[in-house]
Structure 1
Amino acid sequence: MVLINYLLMCLIFGTTFLAIKLGIDAGAPPFFSAGLRFLAAGGILLSYMVARRRASFSLLLRKEMLLTGAGLTFGVFATLYWAEQYLSSGIAAILSATAPLMILLLQTFLTRQRLSLSSVAGCLLGTVGIVLLLLPGITMSFSKLWVLGCAAVLLGQVFYSAGTVYSRRVVQRFRDESPIALNAAQMIYGGALLLILSLFTEKVDPTVIFTPHAILPLLYLIVLGSMTGHTIFYWLIAKTNPVFPSTWLYISPLIALCVGAVLYGEPISLVSVFGGITIIIGIIVINLDNLKVRVVQMRK
């Protein structure tokens, strides 16, 4: 059951990038559709947890939920949705896989600890992979918006790393609360912030939003991407350990790259594929020490 749920989670997370792309290409405003996605998903999940008496709406009164939502949802997905107007879903997914690298660099900066040899090697591999991934787009069809899109996704991972480091403290502070409820609360705040951003930057046309080409990807992202995928993620943490479910970052980006190319005809080059694989290898090398420790613990 663990393996089946893990593979399902990787497949869901790997296809969300294409779903975002489909909605945006259908004319859905990026910030509005992102905000609607997370506000709806978070609201449904938190209401369900409250109905099961496993959470309380008073959770929304805590400033920690606002700050976590600003990092993990608003900062990450405002940049990702905007960038996918100009990037393929596969490229966006691979660039999003740099999150562990960003987390490592932020933690190193905050703790002022020296990086291990494997971490340094992983960072170098990840950097080389990013260059290889972006090289075809820069040399063959240079576009300022394309470059800005790539930079936006990378900026989003900086938000993600800050939100992740902060959320670990929040989880410790709210040990009696369900992780699913905490995630739902931060999604509500992140979604609300995205809708506020949309209010000042976008013109929303309901006749476009509620067309099948725009609404179906949105529903997929709400039900499967945000509700089902994250619920499976926390279920796996409870059944295994915190590291194993996070390895979806090694698999889902390559799924996204292949799905975008096969189902949506997104352009892909061998250099980009090699760059994507190099990034994934770099992320694995960065986490090598943690993975070894978890394997030893599981054997015991």
Structure 2
Amino acid sequence: MNKILVIILFSLVSLTWGTTWIAMKIATETIPPFFATGMRFLVASPILIILAYFTKTPLLFPYGQRWFQLIISIFYFSIPFTLMLYGGMYVSSSVASIIFSSMPVAVLTVSFLYLKKKLFLTQKIGMFISLITLLTVLLIELESQCFFQWKGILALLFALFSHAFIYSECQKKCLNVSVITFNALPSLLSGILLSTTSWFIESPHINTFSNRSILAIFYLGDFSGIFGILSYFYLQQKVSAFYASTVFLIFPVIAGFLENYIYKNAILLCEIWFIFPLIIGILLTLIPVNYLKKIRNKITRLSCLLF
């Protein structure tokens, strides 16, 4: 029964995250990115607040860390998610998903540079392979498409490392709050902030919004945003972080197939080949630290016996 539940959770996360990128592209067909992101969070926040009420989960962070809740609202929700939609307007869904499949590598890079975290040799090799491969894929994409794509790529990279930085800050502060607490109020604050900002910057005209763009917003807010995050959280409780993180290798494939089906945008053959070293690099960064320590200790003992 537990294995079936793990398979269901893994499949649900892969599908929701894989379809997120195509839903973002559909949403921004007729809705400007600031307003689309704001509406996405305003749609999600009431359900999260209701879940918090019925599960007796606090909405506020622990005393002394509540200022960080505001920072999360801006630098984890408002800015990055808006940049994701903005970047999706210029970059294909498959490339956007490939960029975000590098999240484990981005977190490891930020932890190494910012937190001065010690890395094993295999992690350093994996980080190097992943970053070089990602850079190569992005350069190929720029060369094969219109050059204005650099705007979308920069937006997505900023969103990626903004998420990685906040995640590293959470590790640094030993922040241990419920996934509902982490998302509920920041979603509401971000929704209000972005929707208000949109009226002054984008001047959205609701009568121009298409039905499928509106449906995409509800999908992003209620299904992808809530059930995708909660499913990943519970998946992490059922399996190790290594196996849970392998979902980052699956959802770009789903995004690529969907984009090819809906928009007839075929992935370049060379990009497909570069996905393999990217996967290898990500897997090397995901190898559990405890496992690497055991290998290091075995090698140390073996070298003492030999010499």
Matched-pair contact (CA < 8 Å) for 1:94–1:257 = no
- Match 1:93 to one of 97, 102, 108: 97
The SS at the match of 2:243 is helix
State the partner residue of 1:130.
134
State the partner residue of 1:206.
206
**Percent identity of equivalent pairs:** 24
CA RMSD of aligned residues (A): 2.6
Q: TM-score, normalised by structure 2?
A: 0.84
- Match 2:56 to one of 25, 34, 54: 54
How many matched pairs? 289
Counterpart CA distance in 1 for 2:68 and 2:218 is 28
For the pair 1:272 / 2:302, whether they are aligned, the reply is no
State the partner residue of 2:304.
none
For the pair 1:75 / 2:74, whether they are aligned, the reply is no
For the pair 1:179 / 2:179, whether they are aligned, the reply is yes
State the partner residue of 1:260.
259
- Match 1:64 to one of 60, 68, 75: 68
Counterpart CA distance in 2 for 1:136 and 1:186 is 37
Assess, with a 3 A threshold, how the Cα gap between structure 1 residues 220 and 288 changes in structure 2: closer, same or farther.
Answer: same
**In the TM superposition, what is the alpha-carbon distance from 1:71 to its structure 2 partner?**
2.6
**Cα deviation digits, residues 145-168 of structure 1 (max 9, x gap):** 201211111111110111111233
State the partner residue of 2:143.
139
Counterpart amino acid of 1:268? I
Counterpart CA distance in 2 for 1:216 and 1:74 is 21
**In the TM superposition, what is the alpha-carbon distance from 1:141 to its structure 2 partner?**
2.9
Matched-pair contact (CA < 8 Å) for 1:180–1:234 = no
State the partner residue of 1:149.
152
The SS at the match of 1:44 is helix
Q: Name which of structure 1's ranges 79-88 and 54-63 shifts more when overlaid on structure 2.
A: 54-63
Q: Name which of structure 1's ranges 2-11 and 255-264 shifts more when overlaid on structure 2.
A: 255-264
Counterpart CA distance in 2 for 1:60 and 1:207 is 43
Counterpart CA distance in 2 for 1:75 and 1:293 is 36
Counterpart amino acid of 1:36? M
Counterpart CA distance in 1 for 2:285 and 2:34 is 33
Structure 2 portions without partners, runs of 5+ = 296-307
The SS at the match of 1:158 is helix
State the partner residue of 2:39.
36
State the partner residue of 2:246.
247
Assess, with a 3 A threshold, how the Cα gap between structure 1 residues 29 and 126 changes in structure 2: closer, same or farther.
Answer: same
Q: Name which of structure 1's ranges 231-240 and 93-102 shifts more when overlaid on structure 2.
A: 231-240
Counterpart CA distance in 1 for 2:278 and 2:25 is 22
Matched-pair contact (CA < 8 Å) for 1:133–1:273 = no
**Cα deviation digits, residues 238-290 of structure 1 (max 9, x gap):** 33344433332121122212221123212311112222333232111112244
Matched-pair contact (CA < 8 Å) for 1:32–1:195 = yes
State the partner residue of 1:231.
230
Counterpart CA distance in 2 for 1:66 and 1:223 is 22
Counterpart CA distance in 2 for 1:137 and 1:10 is 24
Structure 1 portions without partners, runs of 5+ = none
Counterpart CA distance in 2 for 1:3 and 1:54 is 28
Matched-pair contact (CA < 8 Å) for 1:31–1:78 = yes
Counterpart CA distance in 2 for 1:59 and 1:121 is 37
Structure 1 stretches of at least 4 aligned residues deviating more than 6 Å after TM superposition: none
Matched-pair contact (CA < 8 Å) for 1:99–1:157 = yes
**In the TM superposition, what is the alpha-carbon distance from 1:101 to its structure 2 partner?**
1.8
**Cα deviation digits, residues 5-62 of structure 1 (max 9, x gap):** 111111111111001001112x111111111112321232122221x15124455993
**Cα deviation digits, residues 118-175 of structure 1 (max 9, x gap):** 12211222123223322433223341x20121111111111011111123356x44x5
Counterpart CA distance in 1 for 2:290 and 2:45 is 31
Counterpart CA distance in 2 for 1:123 and 1:293 is 15
**In the TM superposition, what is the alpha-carbon distance from 1:204 to its structure 2 partner?**
0.6
Bigger CA radius of gyration: 2
